[in-house]
Amino acid sequence: MIEHPIPPLYDENSKILILGSFPSVRSREVQFFYGHPQNRFWKVVSAVLDETVPQTIPEKRDLLLRNHIALWDVIAACDIRGSADSTIKNVIPNDLSIILDSADIKEIFVNGKTAEKYYNKYTRDIIGRHSVCLPSTSPANAAWNTERLTGSWRRILIVNEINNFVY
């Protein structure tokens, strides 16, 4: 059983929650989300927000918090071989109340079908909130290039526009 080593990223101003499934081997090594250089999360989110792609962990944290975005994963612990989502077994879900009790989250997005699967199985009914599934930024999702991903991920802007957030 591997435990999730990265604490949730959020503050009291967070309005959007983006959930992945479980950190990759590389993300666990660097102790931060989407640490594999081939994962397109940081490129896509930066493009959506019309910002420079952050390079350091402090820059990544600042980008998200400045834009009212919280980030975590659905799974707190599981058995997994390497970084392969298809091998995930014995899931223990994260307790999202840590974020939901502290921030006024308007919308929950999941990064890919695996995150959606485990969110729907373990979390949705407990917290009584649906999620919006966005296409995975993982390099394993080769059917979606960065431009196409960015177009789909622009949905997160709608939440901010409805709530009149200023960047």
Q: How far apart are CA 26 and CA 51, in angstroms?
A: 24
* 39 catalytic per annotation: yes
Task: Give the tokens for residue 78.
Answer: 């599981």
Cβ atoms of 136 and 113 within 8 Å: the answer is: yes
Work out the angle between the directed axes of helices 41-49 and 155-162 (0-180°, nearest 10).
40
Catalytic residue of the set 39, 67, 94, 111? 39
Cβ atoms of 41 and 138 within 8 Å: the answer is: no
Q: How far apart are CA 74 and CA 96, in angstroms?
A: 8
Cβ atoms of 90 and 82 within 8 Å: the answer is: no
Residue listed under structure tokens 């979390």: 123
Cβ atoms of 161 and 18 within 8 Å: the answer is: no
| 75-79 and 2-3 strand pairing | antiparallel
Positions marked active-site: 39
